[in-house]
Amino acid sequence: MIDYELSSDLAATREQLHMVAKHAMRPIARDYDEREHETPWDFINMMWQLSKNSGVGPGRESRDRTEPRMEERNLRTCIAVEELSWGDAGLYLAMAGPGLGGAAVMAAGTPEQKERFLSRFKGDKPVWSAMAITEPAAGSDSAAIQTTAVRDGDHWVLNGTKIFCTSGLMAGDPSKSNGFVVVWATVDRSAGRAGIKSFIVDAGTPGMTVAKCEDKMGIRASDTAMLVFEDCRIPLDHILGSPDVPKTSEGFKGVMATFDATRPIVAASAIGVGRAALDFLREELTRQNIPIRYGMAVHNLSVIERDFMDMEANLQAARLLTWRAAWMMDRGQKNNLEASMAKAKAGLVVTQVTQKAVEILGPLGYSRDTLLEKWMRDAKINDIFEGTQQINMLIIARRILGYSSKELS
């Protein structure tokens, strides 16, 4: 049975992170939205020390906790990410930590790889990791990846271009951190999905270049980079999983398992942004003497009240889906369907909630005097990365109906 009451430990963590979001993130959110390509080092260093010493950061455990509650690891991360995204989604994404690259290592790496690469996040200096999947000609269709990995003696040689890599600069530039990038590449194009593998490329590896950072609509405090690989040589043991190409796409499913862990996290971030907009809307309506009257018959409610309650209900539904997906992951249960449901619901809800909030408040919502218009810009990415709305709906349909990707595309 799922218990949606948080433990006292999780509740305390949530409250502490809410204070961080309110007092350390909100005051600087507009400033770093304006200065997109300036790294918020003071905030990053503060959060690195906070997470290292108290274990309140996403996916972290306190150093003095002798028996970490690993059964809450993913749920803890989702709760942390929601609160930090309530503060500012861009600043949350700019934080150092395992990120998507670390999630890939956790999902598909060997025990030795987990120890070797994830131990970097226990040091005194901030470290980032990133995941490089998307290419100029391969977006939602991961099987269309053109980046190649060719074995040459005791090395793999990577060639190709990756775009829209979240934290690609901080993870790939050795002057920023001792980080790494997990790169998706094909070892056999003729094998289709079965030939797709993921490889760990350390920051500063010759042949990997951070070509540029994108100018974006939202989440502007974080970097989104283009990475170019030209005869980039990495050791053989930097591949995640087996180098063998199976006759079926089962190996590709192992690579895709990363998303079972990360999609609920993206959903949690979306919920945080949506909650920020909804909280602000409630405060403004209260200030203007427009109460939200719960318990009234529907036909006695105003249009604004009905809209607000609908927004609130959808946001709560997205949260419960997200917590369920995280809860299942914590217990080692297959959550492919639930992770996609959470991501699809949260991505849709956050765009609707933020846009409706702007609409209801009119000129005030559209003005840059408040953060509401920023939250609307930040919201949309949650409906795109980690699998677009359309891709996740396809996955949901395939799982429910029992169809393969060839049967339903």
Known catalytic residues?
386
Could you tell me if 216 and 379 are in contact, meaning their C-beta atoms sit under 8 angstroms apart? no
Cα distances (Å, whole numbers) of residue 358 to 133, 227, 355, 373, 382: 33, 36, 5, 7, 18
Tokens matching residue 33: 């939205």
Q: In this structure, which long-range contacts are made by residues 279-288, counting pairs with CB atoms below 8 Å and at least 24 apart in sequence?
A: 279/86, 280/357, 280/370, 280/371, 280/372, 280/375, 281/308, 281/357, 281/360, 281/361, 281/372, 282/308, 284/361, 284/364
Asked if 289 and 394 count as a contact pair (C-beta separation under 8 A), the reply is: no
Cα(135)–Cα(344) distance, integer angstroms: 22
